[in-house]
Structure 1
Amino acid sequence: MARKTIEERLVEAEQRLKQIKEQARKRKAREQAATKQRERKEDANRKIRLGGLVVLAQLTDADKGFLLGALLDAAQRQQDQQYAARCKAMGDALLNQQENENRSSAAAQAQG
């Protein structure tokens, strides 16, 4: 068996390096795609949760302009401590009520 020349070994090493670089490129592309997909799912989930708040507030049939205006007004007024506390208290009360109803419903289904 003849020994490989230095040139042949160099060509093989360059080919192996090229393969390794391609594998690394593909792995990075897969990781980026997975990250992008995860971010899209998180964004969709966040939007669904926010939409759920609109449903809970019974504003699903509200005019889009009105709804956006109300949100913009709240955004401007959120620095007002009394306003923010009043809004939070109303929201927390409804969320707690909804949570209690969900628990009662789940318990009734488990018994039935």
Structure 2
Amino acid sequence: MCAGRSREGFREIRAEEAALLERLLAREFPGSAELREQLRTITLAEIDADGSLRLSTRSSVRAAVGRRIPVEASYVDRDRVRVHLLLHVVDGYLDELEVLREDSGPIMSRPADQAELDFDQA
């Protein structure tokens, strides 16, 4: 619910962003059903040029996840460098989708454009 966080700069989620988050949350893990419920009222703000997103939900449904990053995935960028997607949950609520490239270079192909994601073991 992002208590104490300003909602300034937040916007409605786009279809491709929703689809990416739904793909990440399609895997079953403790709290995944509650996080999928939170997606129904999600808004977001772009954090950086790599596509990282600050997430905010109006849902009161709290997820009992086992760790701050309950799911992570990756894909190979056009130049064959791996890009990681880490979904952060804070106090039971969706908080951030962190997108980072292993070599810290600029991301060439956006996460939402990926047909295949490799899921890391949680």
Q: Does the pair score TM above 0.5?
A: no
Larger CA Rg, structure 1 vs 2: 1
- Which of the two has greater strand per residue? 2
- Structure number with the bigger relative contact order (C-alpha 8 A, sep ≥ 6) is 2
Please tell me the TM-score bracket, short chain as reference: under 0.3
Bigger proportion of residues as helix: 1
